């Protein structure tokens, strides 16, 4: 029979002491590491290394980058980690051109501000100059131009901001393909209808309409034009119903139009 090797307690004590010593050393190193990491974080947060060094602005077209930075309230003395994003957003959205904003941190020291502006829907003419008009009805006086571009209609005669704002809201709801057909919109209020407007189209037609529900009514314009004889000239009325008012040899003729794909008849 084999005999089991017996280890005396005297032989085991040194090994136990050595194991306990290693365990204690590992624990000490662990706590010292945590201590130094915490100290390093505190020192970093209190040092210039944690300050904002770069403020970048993106997405702006009408509002100047420097103006965005000024509105944000940020400076290179601010702590990178203590930047109040919501406060910065609220500050920037005070500008009438800004629709929305987003603030991002890019380690180690860069703050990026992404700006979303209101869309341009037209131009207004004042004192011989032209200014872009945004979807919220705000005209950009700082964007003075000698002539209006062809990428949006000219809005004429809107002497009251309320009606201009209503008009821009309707244009925003209208498909871009149809807005692109409009050259000019004149506000021509009457006692009976203070919302009356006249449109001059790029294809040569005039359109008489009203600001109220304009976007809904005007969506039928392509199908209305498709029902007319080639070479027709005159005024398309889109109100309660739709009809075409033609001028031939000085005599006025009218044609009722379906707001679909058929001509109902001639009057």
Q: What is the pLDDT of residues 118-143, one digit of tens each?
A: 999 999 998 889 999 999 888 888 88
Question: What residues form DSSP beta bridges with 196?
Answer: 210
**Does residue 126 lie in a domain region?**
no
Examine residue 138 and state whether it is found in any structural domain, yes or no: no
pLDDT at 52 over 50: yes
- Predicted local confidence at residue 3, as pLDDT: 54
Over residues 73-85, the mean pLDDT reads 93
* Residue 131 covered by a domain: no
Tell me, yes or no, whether 259 lies in a domain. Answer: no
- Determine, yes or no, domain membership for 234: no
Asked whether residue 104 is domain-assigned, the answer is yes
Q: How many domains does the chain have?
A: 1
Between 42 and 67, name the one with better pLDDT. 67
User: Which range among 46-60, 76-90, 153-167 shows the weakest confidence by mean pLDDT?
Assistant: 46-60
Asked, for residue 258, whether it belongs to a domain, the answer is: no
User: How confident is the model over 243-255, as pLDDT tens digits?
Assistant: 888 876 444 455 6
| Residue-averaged pLDDT of the chain | 86
**pLDDT in the model for residue 250:** 44
Over residues 32-39, the mean pLDDT reads 83
pLDDT digits (tens, 9 = 90+) for 131-181: 999 998 888 888 888 888 888 999 999 999 999 999 999 999 999 999 999
pLDDT at 90 over 90: yes
Q: Which domain holds residue 102?
A: 50-117
User: Does position 112 have pLDDT exceeding 90, yes or no?
Assistant: yes
The answer as to whether 8 is a domain residue is no
Q: What is the CATH number of the domain that holds 87?
A: 3.10.20.310
pLDDT score, position 10: 58
Residue 266, pLDDT score: 36
pLDDT of amino acid 214? 95
């Amino acid at each position: 029979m084999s005999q089991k090797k017996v280890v005396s307690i005297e032989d085991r004590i040194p090994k136990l002491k050595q194991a306990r010593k290693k365990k204690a050393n590992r624990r000490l190193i662990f706590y010292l590491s945590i201590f130094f990491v915490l100290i390093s974080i505190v020192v970093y947060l209190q040092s210039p290394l944690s300050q904002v060094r770069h403020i970048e602005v993106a997405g702006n077209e009408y509002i100047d980058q420097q103006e965005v930075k000024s509105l944000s309230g940020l400076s290179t003395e601010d702590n990178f980690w203590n930047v109040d994003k919501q406060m910065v957003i609220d500050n920037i959205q005070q500008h009438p051109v800004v629709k929305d904003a987003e603030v991002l941190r890019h380690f180690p020291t860069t703050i990026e501000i992404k700006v979303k502006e209101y869309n341009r829907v037209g131009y207004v003419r004042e004192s011989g100059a032209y200014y872009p008009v945004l979807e919220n009805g705000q005209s950009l006086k700082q964007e003075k131009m000698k002539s209006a571009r062809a990428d949006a209609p000219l809005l004429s005669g809107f002497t009251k901001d309320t009606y201009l704002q209503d008009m821009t809201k309707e244009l925003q709801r209208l498909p871009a393909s149809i807005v692109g057909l409009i050259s000019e919109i004149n506000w021509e209020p009457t006692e009976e209808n203070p919302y009356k407007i006249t449109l001059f189209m790029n294809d040569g037609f005039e359109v008489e309409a009203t600001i109220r529900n304009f976007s809904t009514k005007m969506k039928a314009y392509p199908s209305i034009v498709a029902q007319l004889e080639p070479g027709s000239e005159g005024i398309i009325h889109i109100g309660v119903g739709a009809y075409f008012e033609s001028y031939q040899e000085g005599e006025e003729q009218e044609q009722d139009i379906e707001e679909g794909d058929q001509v109902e008849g001639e009057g």
